[in-house]
């Protein structure tokens, strides 16, 4: 069965903030409703907690870390779900139930099957 990573792009919120509680509950409900298809999932801390890592030059070079997100955008990556679906249309039907689909956008990416 093909797998898809559904990446949620929404406002760069702190999910632990009290005002996010009701939306977070919607995501939990989504996970319950689609438990059969969800292989993994994660909710991310805001991009202000992100650290960008680069290695200068080539492998073995100096590790350079910088604070903050890779790029400032209106919608940030705020979470993901690894979905299992028969085909893209089924995956899209599941992803369309995510609150991010109307509060932002959900990117559905096919996962390369491991051997």
Partner 1 sequence: MVARHDTAHDTVAETVRVEGARILATLIRAVGDVQLAEDAVQEATLAALDAWPVTGVPPQPRAWLALTARRKAIDILRRERARPGKERDGLRVIELASYELPPDDVVDDDVLRLIFTCCHPALSPATRVALALRTLCGLSPAQIAGVLLTTEAATTRRLTRARQKIAAAHIPYRVPAEAELAARLPAVCGVIHSLYTAGHAPVDGRAAYDVDACAEALRLAELLHDLLPEQSMPVAVLALLLLTQARSPARLDTAGDVVTLDQQDRGRWDAVAIARGIELLNDSLRRSHGQADAYQLQAAIAAEHARAASYDGTDWAEILRLYDLLLSIAPSHTAGLARVVAASEAADPATGLAMLAELPPSPVGTRFALNCSPAKGRTQRQPENSPNPSTGRRRSRSDSTGSDVERYSSGWPCRRRRRSGGPEVPGDVPSTGRTS
Spatial distance between the Cα atoms of 57 and 44, rounded to a whole number of angstroms: 30
Kindly tell me which residue out of 4, 30, 80, 81 binds partner 1, with binding defined by CB under 8 A.
4
The reply on whether position 92 binds partner 1 by CB under 8 A is: yes
Tokens of residue 94, six digits: 């599941």
The reply on whether position 2 binds partner 1 by CB under 8 A is: yes
Distance of CA 68 to the CA centre of its chain: 17
Residue with Cβ nearer partner 1 (14 or 87): 87
For CA atoms 42, 48, 53, 54, give the dihedral sign.
positive
The reply on whether position 93 binds partner 1 by CB under 8 A is: no
Instruction: Give how far Cα 58 sits from Cα of 46, 51, 55, 66, Å.
Output: 30, 20, 7, 18
Residue with Cβ nearer partner 1 (38 or 108): 108
Minimum separation from the CB atom of position 6 to partner 1 (A): 12
The reply on whether position 87 binds partner 1 by CB under 8 A is: yes
Dihedrals phi, psi of 32, to nearest 5 degrees:
-70, -45
Binding footprint of partner 1, residue count (CB under 8 A): 10
Chain contacts with partner 1 (rule: CB under 8 A): 2, 4, 86-89, 92, 108, 110, 112
């Amino acid at each position: 069965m093909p797998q898809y990573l559904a990446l949620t792009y929404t406002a760069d919120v702190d999910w632990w903030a009290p005002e996010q509680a009701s939306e977070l509950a919607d995501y939990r409900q989504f996970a319950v409703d689609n438990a059969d298809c969800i292989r993994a999932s994660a909710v991310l801390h805001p991009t202000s907690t992100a650290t960008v890592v680069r290695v200068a030059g080539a492998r073995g070079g100096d590790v350079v870390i910088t604070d903050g997100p890779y790029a400032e955008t209106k919608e940030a990556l705020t979470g993901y779900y690894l979905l299992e679906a028969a085909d893209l249309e089924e995956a899209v039907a599941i992803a369309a139930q995510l609150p991010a689909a109307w509060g932002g956008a959900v990117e559905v990416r096919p996962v390369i099957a491991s051997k």
